[in-house]
Amino acid sequence: MSARNEIARPQGRLAALDGLRGVAALIVVFSHFCCAFLPRFVPALTDHPSWFADTPLGILYNGTFSVSIFFVLSGFVVARAAAKSRDPFYVNLPLRYLRLALPATASVIWAWGLLTLMPTAATHLNELRPSSWLMPNHVFQMQIPDIFHALYHGLIEIYTTGGSRFNNVLWTMQIEAAGSMAIYLFYSVNNPRARKGLAIVIGLGTLLYPNYLCFVLGAWMMERWSAGKLKFGSPIAALIAGILLGFPGRGFAQRLHIPYIWHTHGAFDIGNSSSLIAPLAAALILYSVLNLEYLQRLLSSRVPAYLGRVSFPLYLVHVPLLYTVFSVVYVWVKPTSSIFLLPLFVAFLGCSFALASAGEAWIDKPVLDGISQARKKLRAWRESKIELKPA
C-beta of residue 245 within 8 angstroms of C-beta of residue 270: yes
C-alpha to C-alpha distance for 185 and 164, rounded to whole angstroms = 27
Written in H, E and C, the secondary structure of 10-28 is CCCCCHHHHHHHHHHHHHH
Q: Considering its fold, how many domains does the chain have in total?
A: 1
- Residue 195 is predicted with a pLDDT of 84
Buried b (16+ CB within 10 A) or exposed e, 321-356: bbbbbbbbbbbeeeeeeeeebeebbeebbeebbebb
Task: Please check the confidence at residue 357 and state whether its pLDDT lies above 80.
Answer: yes
Average per-residue pLDDT for the chain: 92
Closest CA to 97 of 109, 86, 89: 89
Lowest mean pLDDT among 75-79, 154-158, 168-172, 228-232: 228-232
pLDDT band at 326 (very low <50, low <70, confident <90, very high): very high
C-alpha to C-alpha distance for 332 and 334, rounded to whole angstroms = 6
C-alpha to C-alpha distance for 45 and 288, rounded to whole angstroms = 31
Task: Please check the confidence at residue 52 and state whether its pLDDT lies above 80.
Answer: yes
Task: Please check the confidence at residue 150 and state whether its pLDDT lies above 70.
Answer: yes
C-alpha to C-alpha distance for 230 and 192, rounded to whole angstroms = 21
Instruction: Give me the amino acid identity at 170.
Output: L
- The range of the structural domain enclosing residue 57 comes to 4-388
pLDDT band at 256 (very low <50, low <70, confident <90, very high): confident
Instruction: Give me the amino acid identity at 183.
Output: I
Task: Please check the confidence at residue 3 and state whether its pLDDT lies above 50.
Answer: no
Tell me the CA end-to-end span of the chain in Å, nearest whole number: 36
- The length of the chain in residues reads 391
For residue range 88-99, list pLDDT tens digits in order: 999 999 999 999
pLDDT (mean) for 183-207: 88
Instruction: Give me the amino acid identity at 385.
Output: K
In a 3-state reduction of DSSP, which class is residue 391? coil
For residue range 76-128, list pLDDT tens digits in order: 999 999 999 989 999 999 999 999 999 999 999 999 999 999 999 999 999 99
pLDDT band at 264 (very low <50, low <70, confident <90, very high): low
Task: Please check the confidence at residue 273 and state whether its pLDDT lies above 90.
Answer: no
Instruction: Give me the amino acid identity at 194.
Output: A
- Residue 163 is predicted with a pLDDT of 93
Closest CA to 67 of 143, 150, 199, 169: 169
pLDDT (mean) for 247-258: 86
